[in-house]
Structure 1
Amino acid sequence: MSIEIPWLALVGGMLLGTSALLLLLFSGRIAGISGIVSGAMNTESPQAERSWRWLFLLGMVLAGLVTPYFGVSLPESLPVSNPLVIVIAGLLVGMGTRLGNGCTSGHGICGLGRLSKRSVVATGVFMAVAVITTYLRLYIV
């Protein structure tokens, strides 16, 4: 059984929103992945603070691994033949996350939901850059 893409996107968006809401309601924390990763790696934080972050990240990885067993096919990614491209892309994403004081999940899901002006600007910028990058990747490069 395969779920069509619009429904898959709708269900995925609802699950992301629900998880962000539950994290905010029960712990007062924002579900920004860059902040969660940063806090998980901070050895100066108390163990309890790092533990929930590692469990959150583990849940994200496990969800991706078990999804195909529920009849949902994962989208194919663009082939990248050069590992250097992957490293550079990762570094650029990290720099953008640092410059923007958060990532797409923090600003786009949680920040917009809280009506944060900074998140509205950040989301507009990263969506515009994503459109431009996609255009360049598909039609120029």
Structure 2
Amino acid sequence: MSIAWQAFTPWSALAGGALIGLAATALLLVNGRVAGISGILAGLLRAPGDRAWRFVFVAGLLLAPLVLHLFAPGLGVPAPADAPDARLLLLAGLLVGVGTRLANGCTSGHGVCGLARLSLRSLAAVAVFMGTAIGVVFLVRHGLAGAAA
């Protein structure tokens, strides 16, 4: 059994999901914006007059794990010993970036905010990216692993 599954508890997942929903709701109510991370990051890079809140949002995403590690080091989940090479992670990140551009949004925009607003476009996007993720994991764990043996 992997470390990540040993650390999983339904209560931490429920708390994390509730915090994500609360943050997305707060951003929509206070700022009138959907909490789609790819759109927020893209706007940070190209929207000249609309950068302050985007910068704070992205900084919070990047700093939150560091703050957690400082104040509650036991709560984090350690990286598995067989974690992928950094080049593979970079390639995966670039492919995810291309996918978010093709889908006009990411998992947070479509999966959290779009589904909550009953968007059919978001439902289609979530079905495609979840299906793709399931297929890739299956191929990597069963198809490619069996071919290498």
Q: Deviations over 1:38-75 (max 9, x none)?
A: 01111x521xx101101001111111112233341225
> What is the CA–CA distance in structure 2 between the aligned matches of 1:59 and 1:91, rounded to whole Å?
22
Stretches of structure 1 that go unaligned for 5 or more consecutive residues are none
Q: How big is the shift at 1:82?
A: 5.8
Stretches of structure 2 that go unaligned for 5 or more consecutive residues are 1-6, 145-149
> What is the CA–CA distance in structure 2 between the aligned matches of 1:105 and 1:41, rounded to whole Å?
19
SS class of match (1:12) = helix
Q: How big is the shift at 1:116?
A: 0.6
> What is the CA–CA distance in structure 2 between the aligned matches of 1:95 and 1:51, rounded to whole Å?
25
Look up the equivalent residue of 2:59 and give its one-letter code.
L
Look up the equivalent residue of 2:35 and give its one-letter code.
A
Structure 1 moving runs of 4+ over 6 Å: none
> What is the CA–CA distance in structure 2 between the aligned matches of 1:67 and 1:106, rounded to whole Å?
24
Alpha carbon RMSD of aligned pairs, Å? 1.8
Percent sequence identity over matched residues?
47
**Number of equivalences:** 135
Look up the equivalent residue of 2:118 and give its one-letter code.
L
1:101 matched residue in structure 2: 104
Shift of the 5–138 alpha-carbon distance from structure 1 to 2, 3 Å rule, reads farther
2:15 matched residue in structure 1: 11
Larger radius of gyration: 2
> What is the CA–CA distance in structure 1 between the aligned matches of 2:51 and 2:116, rounded to whole Å?
25
The TM-score normalised by the length of structure 1 is 0.87
- Structure 1 position 129 matched with structure 2 position 117: no
Q: Deviations over 1:56-98 (max 9, x none)?
A: 0111111111223334122535511361x23321221111001
- Structure 1 position 66 matched with structure 2 position 87: no
SS class of match (2:79) = coil
> What is the CA–CA distance in structure 1 between the aligned matches of 2:61 and 2:85, rounded to whole Å?
26
